[in-house]
Amino acid sequence: MRKSYEMDMCSGPLFSKIILFALPLMFSGILQLLFNAADIIVVGNFTDSTAIAAVGATSSLINLLVNLFIGISVGANVLVARSIGAGDANGVHQTVHTAILAAAVSGFVMIFVGILLSRPLLELMGTPDNVIDQATLYMRIYFVGMPAILLYDFGAAVLRAIGDTRRPLYFLLIAGVVNVILNLVFVILFHLGVAGVAIATVISQFISAGLVMYCLIRSNGVCKLVLSELRIHKEQLIAILKVGLPAGLQGVIFNISNVLIQSSINSFGSSVMAGNTAASNIEGFVYTSMNAVYQTSLSFTSQNFGARNFKRINRVLLECLGLVTVVGLVLGNAAYFFGNTLLGIYTDEAQVITYGLERLGVVSVTYFLCGVMDVLAGSIRGMGYSILPMIVSLTGACLLRIAWIMTVFQASHTQFSLYISYPISWAITAAAHIICYIIVHRRVSRRASQAVEKPVGT
């Protein structure tokens, strides 16, 4: 009998299942963002704008160092979902244990990477002198929580593969409440500033990771985690990396362009940095809602690919594209329309709010294009092609953005000329992904037909 938390993605009504799968993911992503948002709000209200800038200056660097492993967790999700769709219980078991052990080892390695590289990288980005000490402290403490971050992400990826997006939401809700409470205690009572919010974030991350691991250990289903059986299975690791490594490398290189943009923002001074940080944080809530649809397209496509339901894969893409467009347009424009109020949560400095509104007016209102781009890439990855969307995304969104910074931005050194590079690169990359999806879908469908028609014994 199918467990209540699991979902059959290969049959039955599709759109209602997509909604049921995506909504908990949206709320989960929002709660994860609240970890960082709570940090910024607390330091913004109980310290000063340099503390906001310090926390914000670390975000692109943290993403740069973390996204490789987050991408690899996508590989774990795809492989588990594909094995479930194909009815391969042993493949699921080996993939789960390989993924969790790889996450734990990688997390401990990243502690030392983050501690050693934090200040040199912040200096390389041109972080102002009045910000860099606090930013370095925040980043070093944050990376102590890397094992928890990766264990949660990989564990949640496994649960998503079986259709369970609700329990990770519950776990993040618990951890999020703890994070907010500890933020207030460490900053208001103990006056620890950015160190206090970083410590609170790390503690909350370990709580969410512990709950996910407990869930997998206590499971009676196909994804049950047995600690004594944790080992790296070579075949599964290679399959995970085949899908996940290109996705991770894409995230890393994407964030190189974001680091360049952050460096460009730094050239305008700490007030613009603070406004950009607050606006980016608001936009993060829009992005994570759209990213939930990307994760949905990835999981649904992967299971149906394993079950060889190629027509249903097309339906998954079309319905996810419709959903992500609505989500992006509604939330992105709402963020700009209520921008004064939302930015006022982060700071009461009028100049900082003005700078934040300038970013929202360009990036937030066009954010749906990013969601369309990601959903298309997710569907292609779900069919086992990960290098192709990586190349397209890096060429269309990353290299174009870097070229824009080095040419257009240099000629017109304004915030608008910097921010407009986002929607232009998203639109071009999405158009290229549409062409790639059509080619890949035809190819996998043709191969499946040939395999069925091939006589036995030939």
**Rounded distance between C-alpha atoms, residue 290 and residue 357, angstroms:** 21
Residue 249: is its pLDDT beyond 50?
yes
One-letter amino acid at 106 equals S
Q: Report yes or no: 27 and 169 within 8 Å, Cβ to Cβ.
A: yes
Residue 451: is its pLDDT beyond 80?
no
| Residue range 179-202: mean pLDDT, rounded | 88
Residue 372: is its pLDDT beyond 80?
yes
Average pLDDT, the chain: 86
Residue 271: is its pLDDT beyond 90?
no
Per-residue model confidence as pLDDT tens digits over 333-349: 999 999 999 988 877 78
Q: Report yes or no: 344 and 279 within 8 Å, Cβ to Cβ.
A: no
Angle at 19 between CA 287 and CA 158, to 5 degrees: 75
Residue 150: is its pLDDT beyond 90?
yes
The whole-number pLDDT of residue 458 equals 39
Per-residue model confidence as pLDDT tens digits over 40-57: 778 777 776 677 777 777
| Residue range 282-302: mean pLDDT, rounded | 91
| Residue range 400-415: mean pLDDT, rounded | 85
The whole-number pLDDT of residue 456 equals 43
| Residue range 418-441: mean pLDDT, rounded | 92
pTM of the model: 0.79
What confidence category does residue 364 fall into, taking pLDDT thresholds of 50, 70 and 90? very high
